[in-house]
Amino acid sequence: MSRNGPLALIFHTVFVIVMVAPILVVCLVAFTPEGYLSLPTNGFSLRWFRTIANYPEFIHAFWVSLGLGALSSLVALLFAVPAALAIARYRFRGRDVLAALFLSPLMIPHVVLGIAFLRFFTSAGLGGSFAALIVAHVIIVFPFALRLTLAAATGMDRTVEMAAVSLGAGGWTLFRRVTLPLILPGVISGWALAFIQSFDDLTMTVFLAAPGTETLPVRMFLYIQDNIDPLVTSVSACVIAITMAALILLDRFYGLDRVLAGKGDTGR
């Protein structure tokens, strides 16, 4: 039972079509049998998906993106989990300043971060290296990892920990057996959101990547800069398919609404 009038439903339909159209057109063009950009009106073909195999730089870039996303999200969590626990439980001087600092990468334009890291890592002699990419990505995904962990740590029932302490647990055992399992859903979704953020970043990475450390978005961007042909649509279609699969998995195991709510707060 919808309480929307016909006008509202027409608006909604047009809105949804416009939202979906660009994504749909990319996926459709990817299946064209022609040698140029066109909708597959004369049947579907996989030729442009097969063509990807002839461009090892795309495949290499994919692995770089995957490794970079997984690793930088993990490292970010190693720093973010203790910080989140401190911010969630203690009222100390400088707490608000620290929290603002840790969330600041959301507010700093990625182009500025790209320039800052380029300058920094070039001076340090690490320009274009994978290590530099990891560090840079740790910074940009940190707020996402922190925010979801923080939400879990704030929502956690502290008396459970007190109960564990009263039963003799302490220090590392307390963290590993009680605290971590309780905040784990937040930590895992923080990782997933951080991964997606890292996997998708172009603006900052385009400054830092060198041949060999180019990520998939960078490779695609540089390719589009030269020319747009069906090959880049088939690569995009693959990226879209992978993202969708990850989304479905995330939704099954955690609930997409919670993940999206975390991402939607960018900039505050």
Alpha helices in the chain (DSSP H): 6-29, 47-51, 56-89, 95-103, 110-123, 130-155, 158-166, 171-174, 180-200, 205-208, 216-226, 230-253, 256-264
Q: Provide the minimum distance between the beta carbon of 11 and another protein in the complex, in angstroms, as a whole number.
A: 6
250 near 196, Cβ under 8 Å?
no
| Closer of 183 and 232 to another protein (Cβ) | 232
For residue 93, give the DSSP letter.
T
Q: Provide the minimum distance between the beta carbon of 184 and another protein in the complex, in angstroms, as a whole number.
A: 18
At CB < 8 A and 24+ separation, what contacts does 159-163 make?
none
187 near 77, Cβ under 8 Å?
yes
Q: Provide the minimum distance between the beta carbon of 143 and another protein in the complex, in angstroms, as a whole number.
A: 11
Q: Provide the minimum distance between the beta carbon of 163 and another protein in the complex, in angstroms, as a whole number.
A: 18
| Closer of 37 and 160 to another protein (Cβ) | 37
| Closer of 166 and 225 to another protein (Cβ) | 225
Rounded CA-CA distance 219/206 in Å is 9
At CB < 8 A and 24+ separation, what contacts does 80-85 make?
80/142, 80/145, 80/146, 80/149, 80/190, 81/149, 81/183, 81/187, 83/146, 84/146, 84/149, 84/150, 84/152, 84/153, 85/153, 85/179
Rounded CA-CA distance 221/215 in Å is 10
| Closer of 48 and 102 to another protein (Cβ) | 102
Rounded CA-CA distance 226/212 in Å is 19
Q: Provide the minimum distance between the beta carbon of 217 and another protein in the complex, in angstroms, as a whole number.
A: 5
The single residue listed with the structure tokens 């990319």 is 26
| Closer of 159 and 227 to another protein (Cβ) | 227
| Closer of 50 and 119 to another protein (Cβ) | 119
| Closer of 45 and 88 to another protein (Cβ) | 88
Q: Provide the minimum distance between the beta carbon of 195 and another protein in the complex, in angstroms, as a whole number.
A: 10
Rounded CA-CA distance 48/34 in Å is 9
Q: Provide the minimum distance between the beta carbon of 232 and another protein in the complex, in angstroms, as a whole number.
A: 7
